[in-house]
Chain A
Amino acid sequence: MQDADERLLRAVMALLTAKGITSAEEIAERVRVTDAASPGQGARMVARAWRDPGYRALMLQDGTRAAEALGIPMRGAPPLGVLENTPEVHHLVVCTLCSCYPRAVLGYPPFWFKSAAYRARAVRDPRGLLAEFGTHLPESVRVRVVDSTADYRWMVLPLRPAGTDEWDEERLAAIVREGDMIGVTQVAP
């Protein structure tokens, strides 16, 4: 079924190349650069913020500059907003209108994030949705769903799990997963 669209892609690329607009090499390089982004980048930011109150403050105030401070390329990327989870408030990120995602710090969005089920349910049944990911929040915690509708891209600064006080940054970063930074899961040590 995808064959027709693969032919369409090849035809469009051939035309754009003939017109000097782009080239196969340029596309391949862009694929390479895009593939290099991964949730590991966001995880480093989270780990740094957990250990360094100054960095945490920067991250909450200006996510883009915080990412750049760790060498994550952000030129041309949309502004990055960071949502801090607390014992009282748990954030969940969605884009109900399409699939806006903090790609510069987390890489490509996962399949589920782009699905109709996720986009529809997040703003109306976030707790049922979280249960699908094995996440169950206490009644006392408020869920705040952040619907990415405009220029910002949002990531969650999740709660640091108990029992990790002595861990160094690398060890902390290794336990922070993509889902933790979108809000569908909580970090487990």
Chain B
Amino acid sequence: MTAARHPGYPLPVDENANQTPPEDRPRARHDLGGVSRFMCEPVDTAPHALTAFDRQVDALRQILGMKGIMSVDELRRGVEALTEAEYFGLSYYQRWMRAISATLLRKSVITEAELRNTLSEMP
């Protein structure tokens, strides 16, 4: 390597030159840095407006965090626990909504029966 080193921080050459490449490590599904499957995928750089649903889910998450009911860490864990189909098939805020409801159920903030009844009573 011939690159000049930053004057303040001479970086060490990676010692473990024969290390297993990142591809072959048992990474979690959401841990996407450098994942080969996406390296040739173009980035959709166009702006996409948020829907009312998106904004409300975002607001709900913030309020639950502010009130100490569900932390952002719990949200992330909930999103990470989604299935492969959900993680790559749902929109960003759909994933949040699934994670929020699963977390609220697990913590007994709401119950399965309550949710079922409420859904069935809705038009």
- Report whether chain A binds chain B: yes
**Which A residues are closer than 8 A to B by beta carbons?**
2, 5-16, 19, 21-22, 26-28, 30-31, 34-35, 76, 89, 96-99, 108, 110-112, 114-125, 129, 132-133, 142, 147
- Main SS of the interface on chain A? helix
Assign chain B's interface to a size class.
35 or more
28 contacts between A and B (CB under 8 A): A2-B94, A8-B119, A9-B97, A10-B122, A14-B118, A14-B122, A15-B118, A21-B69, A21-B109, A22-B63, A27-B56, A30-B62, A30-B63, A31-B55, A34-B59, A97-B30, A97-B32, A97-B33, A97-B76, A110-B48, A116-B35, A118-B43, A120-B39, A120-B41, A125-B39, A129-B43, A132-B45, A133-B45
Contact of B30 among A98, A111, A117 (CB under 8 A): A98
- Docked Cα-Cα span, A7 to B69, in Å, equals 21
Query: A8 touching B31 by the CB < 8 A rule?
Result: no
Contact of A5 among B43, B53, B64, B69 (CB under 8 A): B53
Which residues from chain B contact A5 at a C-beta distance below 8 Å? 53, 90, 93-94, 97-98
Which residues from chain B contact A115 at a C-beta distance below 8 Å? 43-44
Q: Does B37 have its Cβ within 8 Å of any Cβ on chain A?
A: yes
Closest partner residue, chain A, to B105 (CB atom): A12
Which residues from chain A contact B42 at a C-beta distance below 8 Å? 117, 132
Query: B94 touching A116 by the CB < 8 A rule?
Result: no
Which residues from chain A contact B58 at a C-beta distance below 8 Å? 31, 34, 108
Which residues from chain A contact B76 at a C-beta distance below 8 Å? 97-98
Query: B47 touching A111 by the CB < 8 A rule?
Result: yes
Query: B33 touching A96 by the CB < 8 A rule?
Result: yes
Which residues from chain A contact B97 at a C-beta distance below 8 Å? 5, 8-9, 12
Interchain residue pairs A-B with the least CB separation, the first 3: A120-B38, A96-B33, A124-B34
Q: How many whole Å from A99's CB to the nearest CB in chain B?
A: 7
